[in-house]
Amino acid sequence: MQGNVEVQFKIQPVINKIPFFCKWVPYIAVGQVPEDHVLLKLSTNKKDGMELSLRTPFQTPRKVVACFSPLFLNERWQLLLATVETRISPWPSIKIGESRAASPMFDPNTELEFRNQASAMTDCLLQYKESAEFVIFPDPDDILVPVLGKNYHEEFTAAFNMFPTAGAIVYNMTQTSIESSITPALYSPISLLSSIKFKGEQRWGKLVVRPERVDSTWIHRSYSIKEGYEQKVMPVDVNAFYHLRIWKFPDYPTVNRTKISNPPYFDPYHLNATKRTVYNVSDGLKIQRKFKNRVSDGNMKAIYSRLPKVSLYYPLIEVCYNRIFYSMKDIGTCRGPEYCNIPAFPGLRCTNVASEFVTYKSYKNIYIHQLISTDFEEGENGCTL
């Protein structure tokens, strides 16, 4: 930093234990920078270095913010319509080589755990660190239904009252199967929920944090909780995420009022539990009405009717992830979509992310890349990672 002020930064990894044998781990520098600073540089000495662009975090107070993992090759609209009502922002990546994982050049994308999601989630945390009361870090196929309160804010307030020393609380995932329709006219988000069947399997949970108590986060754990706080686990029988893992698309309509009015019971251990239902019937009918009104309005109606009935990428990604992750084979290698062999689909419309970088090359064998701009772009030759 230029000027007469010396700032001490604490350099720490976002992930302390390298997951999945990846060679690259994101780091974060934590320090108090004066508001009237002149210049901030990334350098190996006190003279040279790349000037860093600065962002001001969001200041509008928010009760709950959800930060999702970066999406890629995503075409399962049934999932997004059921779980996400949010603004989607482009997340950049540095593209090195023609086909990245197959490139003869060294490509850091192949040695970052799952789409560099730890960096993406920490970036989102830092943007809302000064304005959000709670920040949650799910995947789009994770659904959490509030139980400890009427909404997410009441749920998380009660959760942190249960664990007053918590900086982060883990809600475990319980595996489920669901049914949906490939036809927009027959689709219903609440019918999807009413079809849930619990598999009796639990997986690594997802986090909700008090942002003032943590400096960084990974999807399953925060390794940077401030002194005096800790990570706690919410008991599964109290509440858990529904992981919409197994999808079925029957040939018959899935919109069924009788079925909606008889929701399944929350049964994470597959013990025929009857303590509470997955959702309240009145809430379910309200969700259904709100959804129908939204997709029947103006431009949304035309867009919704054109949603595809055939998935090209999802089956390929599913096979790939079963091979590189869920099968638990080749556990000594880093894993991510870079290792999926995805063919090109010329003529297929897709919204991709375009990123512009500047590279600092003044060090021997060290290259510093900095993002200049990123935006969505429409393409006619399929989707790219």
Domain ranges of the chain: 10-379
How far apart are alpha carbons 104 and 133 in whole angstroms? 46
Q: Does the pLDDT of residue 372 top 80, yes or no? A: yes
Helices (H), the chain: 77-83, 117-127, 152-162, 189-194, 257-260, 281-295, 298-305, 313-321
Report the percentage of the chain scoring pLDDT > 90: 30
Report the percentage of the chain scoring pLDDT > 70: 88
pLDDT tens digits, one per residue of 89-126: 777 776 665 445 445 566 777 788 777 888 889 999 99
Per-residue confidence (pLDDT) for residue 253, from 0 to 100? 60
Q: Does the pLDDT of residue 27 top 70, yes or no? A: yes
Q: Does the pLDDT of residue 2 top 50, yes or no? A: no
For residue 333, what pLDDT band results from cuts at 50, 70 and 90? confident
By DSSP bridging, strand 132-137 and strand 10-13 are unpaired
- Among candidate residues 357, 355, 353, 339, the one with its CA nearest the CA of residue 383: 353
The neighbour count for residue 374, using CB atoms within 10 Å, is 15
Per-residue confidence (pLDDT) for residue 332, from 0 to 100? 67
Per-residue confidence (pLDDT) for residue 278, from 0 to 100? 93
Q: Does the pLDDT of residue 84 top 70, yes or no? A: no
The neighbour count for residue 241, using CB atoms within 10 Å, is 25
At 314, which amino acid appears?
A: Y
Please give the structure tokens belonging to residue 51: 């000037």
Q: Does the pLDDT of residue 338 top 50, yes or no? A: yes
Site of tokens 């922002």:
89
Cβ neighbors of 313 (< 8 A, separation 6 or more) are 73, 74, 75, 342, 383
pLDDT tens digits, one per residue of 266-276: 999 989 888 89
For residue 171, what pLDDT band results from cuts at 50, 70 and 90? very high
Point out the least confidently predicted range of 72-81, 94-103, 141-150, 165-174.
94-103
How far apart are alpha carbons 116 and 109 in whole angstroms? 8
How far, in whole angstroms, is CA 28 from its chain's centroid?
19
Per-residue confidence (pLDDT) for residue 96, from 0 to 100? 62
For residue 250, what pLDDT band results from cuts at 50, 70 and 90? confident
Q: Does the pLDDT of residue 153 top 90, yes or no? A: yes
Per-residue confidence (pLDDT) for residue 87, from 0 to 100? 65
For residue 239, what pLDDT band results from cuts at 50, 70 and 90? very high
By DSSP bridging, strand 197-209 and strand 350-363 are unpaired
